[in-house]
Amino acid sequence: MADSFRIICPTGHLGFTPLEKASFLAGCAEKPDAVIADSGSCDIGPYPLGADGQASPPAWQYHDVEIMLLEARRLGVPMIIGSASDTGTDRGVNQFVEIVREVAKKHKLAPFKLAALYSEQSIDSLRAYLAKGGRIEGLDGRPDATLATLDATSRAVAVMDAEPIRKALLAGAEVVIVGRCSDCAIFAAPLLNRGFGPAISYYAGKLMECASFCCEPYMGKESIMGSITADAVEVTAMHPGQRCTPASLASHAMYERRNPFHEHVASGLVDMTNCRYEQVGPKTTRATGPAFVPAGKTKVKLEGAGKVGERRLAIVGVRDPETIGRIDRAIAWAKDRLNERFGPIGGEYQVYYHLYGRDGVMGPLEPTPPAQPHELGIVVETVCKDGKRAEEICALAARNLFYARLPDVKGTAGAAALMGDEILVGKAGYEWTLNHVMAVDDPESLVRTRFETIDGTN
């Protein structure tokens, strides 16, 4: 039998909703060699990174870490969690380390060695890198970052590949809490240490990172088992009602990515062009054929988010068909009033009218906006550095739909329905400022590793 390494993955985004315990315990009964899950995502928008907050409730993060840690320690195998607390900032790593300490104490776990890997980058360190002539190269058509880009950035993280995680494991860490990293890196690290090549190691991570999303029928938060050999990844669904099929696994390989053939990491890219998928058991599919193309120069990805301003929201409805038919005109009138009173829109403040019932979901991409919807739900959104001013602008932007001056209007007691005369306080507005890479000679210069022995019996 070929040398194999087995990994159980219970969730594709630890803490976002609670993992399902039964399929995880069923998988752990088969004695996997590692327990691994990612906890991060950019899908939640720039707010959590920029504000250094989190998208997942702490209680659910604790729930998931507790279940995973207890099984990993019972089995005596490594537990690796990536992109701690949604964003992988230093705060997120520290928060998850504290959860591990609490769980260890609660269950009186015997001593084990933990590694905490930090990859948050201070904005000053990035400024210094630019000042030394370094290039922060834009991805996806973005221009290169300048000092102005960094000035607009509140917080930034570097995306690690497997190397620092490998080193932590080699140094004896049994629990590794990782800051921002590629989803596939946390899976690749123990596989690389076992002697597997980078192609199969990163590919295994790519296939497994979202847990049961790569199986059918559609279920989230159920466990999957990956059995990795030198040239194949076999993925098995652990939930009794799910199967991993060639179609489900191949379609996951293209999920959330620009193209299905390439997965980029700092040290190179996994080429999946020639991958093959075959059913090898009722619940198991084998994947083979990835190649690894090393990067000429290691380029580490940077993610950054910056605050735009305070945000306020108001909800307005329109039912009068004459107003609905001329809603763009009503909004133009309301915007003119804002321009007069607060200066040009887009200068010190921003205002958006989201027209649910017409094109609120798709905006300019909507191919068939109805000219005459039955009713319109309008969310008015304003953003301004000063919260009080954002509120004042939002109130006027909404109420001016109520007072909109349209010729021959019949409803002269109000051209819109206000759900309530209140202005809702939104989370602050942030934007993604960095989606860039920086070339570095030593990518690990961007990572700080700290070891700690955790003794729950103490």
Partner 1 sequence: MPTLRELASTIRSKNAGVDHITFDIIFRERANFERVRNAKVLTRESVAALYRMDPERITDFVVFEPANAIKFTIRRDRPSGGPGEHDVFGSQQYAPLMGIEIP
- If the CB atoms of residues 253 and 331 are measured against partner 1, the closer one turns out to be 253
The radius of gyration of the chain's CA atoms, rounded to the nearest angstrom, is 25
Determine if 450 is a binding residue for partner 1 (CB under 8 A): no
Determine if 364 is a binding residue for partner 1 (CB under 8 A): yes
- If the CB atoms of residues 71 and 263 are measured against partner 1, the closer one turns out to be 263
Kind plus residue range of the DSSP H or E element containing 58:
helix 58-75
Determine if 203 is a binding residue for partner 1 (CB under 8 A): no
DSSP structural state of residue 143? P
CB of 25 to partner 1, least distance (A): 30
Kind plus residue range of the DSSP H or E element containing 130:
helix 123-131
CB of 96 to partner 1, least distance (A): 23
Determine if 368 is a binding residue for partner 1 (CB under 8 A): yes
Cβ(81)–Cβ(14) below 8 Å? yes
CB of 427 to partner 1, least distance (A): 10
Determine if 220 is a binding residue for partner 1 (CB under 8 A): no
CB of 105 to partner 1, least distance (A): 37
CB of 361 to partner 1, least distance (A): 5
**SS3 for 62-101, per residue?**
HHHHHHHHHHHHHHCCCEEEEEEEECCCHHHHHHHHHHHH
Using CB under 8 A, pick the residue from 59, 365, 371, 413 that binds partner 1: 365
> Can you read off the two tokens belonging to residue 154?
């509140």
- If the CB atoms of residues 303 and 320 are measured against partner 1, the closer one turns out to be 303
x/- letters, 116..155, toward partner 1 (CB under 8 A): -----------------------xxxx-------------
Distance between first and last Cα of the chain: 43
CB of 140 to partner 1, least distance (A): 4
- For residue 450, the SS3 value is strand
Determine if 45 is a binding residue for partner 1 (CB under 8 A): yes
Beta bridge partners of 224: 9, 237
Determine if 259 is a binding residue for partner 1 (CB under 8 A): yes
> Can you read off the two tokens belonging to residue 44?
């939640």
Question: How many Å separate Cα 155 from the centre of its chain?
Answer: 15
**Residue 369: exposed, middle, or buried by beta-carbon count in 10 A (0-12, 13-18, 19+)?**
middle
Would you tell me which residues interact with partner 1 (CB under 8 A)? Answer: 42-47, 139-142, 246-247, 250-251, 253-261, 275-277, 303, 308-309, 311, 350, 352, 354, 360-368, 381, 383, 429-432, 435
